[in-house]
Amino acid sequence: MGICLSPGLGRQLFTLAATGFAWAAVAGCAAKPEEVNVPISSWPGYEYFYLAERRGLAERYGFKLTTSQFADPQEIVHSYLRGELNVAQLTTVELVDICEKIPERCPVVVLILDESRGGDIIAARHGVDTLQDLAGKRIGTTFSSLGPYFVSRALQRSGLSLDQVEVRNMPLAEMPAALKQGSVDAVAFYPPFSDYAARDGHSRVLFDSRQTPGEIFDILVIDPSYLHSNSVVLTKLVKAWQDAHQLAQAHPKQSIGLMADRQKVSAKEFQQAENGLVYYGLAEQKVMLAPGGVMERNLKSVQKVQQELKLVRIGAQLPSVTNRLVEAALR
């Protein structure tokens, strides 16, 4: 994962988790702690804030962490657009889309949650055996998400383009049934939705994000005004995220079981999904989030592809990136 445990920290975190909210009970007369809410949709890399919440990992830093669960990632995008969220877990594609729509609230990237290297998948019904076979076929994807970008990158590898296929917009939750029923020939999705399709046995994987290394990231983004006013507690949020990863390394059975249960998949399926992800520790992220670093370059590349696909207009605002919270969390 690239996230290393400090000596004895795993035991400390487990003890903290076991005691739950004991700290809060002792400090009952203290001022009400600051609260940060993080929205969660179904993706393994997004679950660590849920783990941190359930195990009380924010308590050691003196703030309250809550999570809000969303059935579809696009609901998180729409909630941010409506001004209902200050914090979001997004793909870089979703971020670029938001910044075109509301440049005045274009979120700032503060943390890399994961890189997908196998987690994102294009699966097809039996009889569609290669990417070249997708020519003229129906491909289900979710617009304003990673889907169109990922499909376009896969098609490029096979000498095809988006105008040579029929792209259909559909919710992720409908994709496994659509494959089974034959209403589409292929879909672009990810766990747990790809797990549901795999159980049915009506499809096979044609392409995954191992073939696009360094391109597909999930990120934590913050409303710029909220970031300016709440940098101290947001630094603590980054620390709690790191602690959740360390807890999962020290006590994988309990941690993975909890996260898998929320996604309604087995622990084995959750672990298999995580095999397609790369997690970066804070020391690595300090460099990746620096000016001119990996994340800035990635966002420029994503925006360029989105513009070529006519999903984002030329001249749209490019999202900002900062390593300030990561630097502070490392101190």
How does strand 186-189 pair with strand 138-141? parallel
Domains contained in the chain, number: 2
Q: Give residue for tokens 């603590």.
A: 236
Whether the per-residue pLDDT at 55 is higher than 70: the answer is yes
Looking at residue 262, what is its pLDDT?
95
Do residues 100 and 202 both lie within one domain? no
Q: Give residue for tokens 């969390």.
A: 329
Whether the per-residue pLDDT at 96 is higher than 90: the answer is yes
Average pLDDT, the chain: 90
Do residues 30 and 94 both lie within one domain? yes
Whether the per-residue pLDDT at 317 is higher than 80: the answer is yes
Residues 255-279 have pLDDT tens digits of 999 999 999 999 999 999 899 899 9
What b/e string do you get for 39-52 counting C-beta neighbours within 10 Å, with b at 16 or more? bbbbbbbbbbbbbb
> Is residue 2 in a domain?
no
Looking at residue 142, what is its pLDDT?
83
Looking at residue 27, what is its pLDDT?
41
> Is residue 18 in a domain?
yes
Do residues 107 and 179 both lie within one domain? no
- What does the pLDDT average to over 191-206? 89
Are 139 and 167 in contact by the 8 Å Cβ rule? The answer is yes
Do residues 223 and 290 both lie within one domain? yes
Do residues 98 and 125 both lie within one domain? no
E strand segments, 142-200: 166-169, 186-189
> Is residue 107 in a domain?
yes
Residues 113-125 have pLDDT tens digits of 999 999 899 999 9
Domain boundary residue, one of 211, 232, 262: 211
Q: Give residue for tokens 């590898």.
A: 157
pLDDT band at 62 (very low <50, low <70, confident <90, very high): very high
Which helix or strand (DSSP H or E) is residue 272 part of? helix 267-274
pLDDT band at 64 (very low <50, low <70, confident <90, very high): very high
Contacts of 224 (CB under 8 A, 6+ apart): 105, 106, 107, 108, 320
Looking at residue 51, what is its pLDDT?
98
Contacts of 138 (CB under 8 A, 6+ apart): 165, 166, 168, 183, 184, 185, 186
Do residues 28 and 136 both lie within one domain? no
Do residues 325 and 225 both lie within one domain? yes
Do residues 272 and 305 both lie within one domain? yes
Looking at residue 323, what is its pLDDT?
99
Looking at residue 23, what is its pLDDT?
39
Looking at residue 31, what is its pLDDT?
58
| CATH at residue 253 | 3.40.190.10
Q: Which residue has better confidence, 71 or 185?
A: 185
CA angle, 158 then 201 then 255, to 5°: 95
Residue 64 pairs in a beta bridge with 35
Are 185 and 138 in contact by the 8 Å Cβ rule? The answer is yes
Residues 141-171 have pLDDT tens digits of 987 678 888 999 899 989 999 889 999 999 8
- What does the pLDDT average to over 107-133? 95
Domain boundary residue, one of 194, 211, 228: 211
Do residues 99 and 163 both lie within one domain? no
Per the structure, the complete domain to which residue 299 belongs is given by 9-115+215-330
> Is residue 300 in a domain?
yes
Looking at residue 29, what is its pLDDT?
44
> Is residue 1 in a domain?
no
Residues 4-50 have pLDDT tens digits of 444 445 545 544 454 444 434 444 444 577 999 999 998 999 999 99
As a whole number of angstroms, the distance between CA 141 and CA 73 comes to 13
> Is residue 3 in a domain?
no
Looking at residue 201, what is its pLDDT?
85
Whether the per-residue pLDDT at 231 is higher than 90: the answer is yes
Domain boundary residue, one of 211, 241, 262: 211
Are 3 and 249 in contact by the 8 Å Cβ rule? The answer is yes
Looking at residue 3, what is its pLDDT?
60
pTM, rounded to two decimals: 0.82
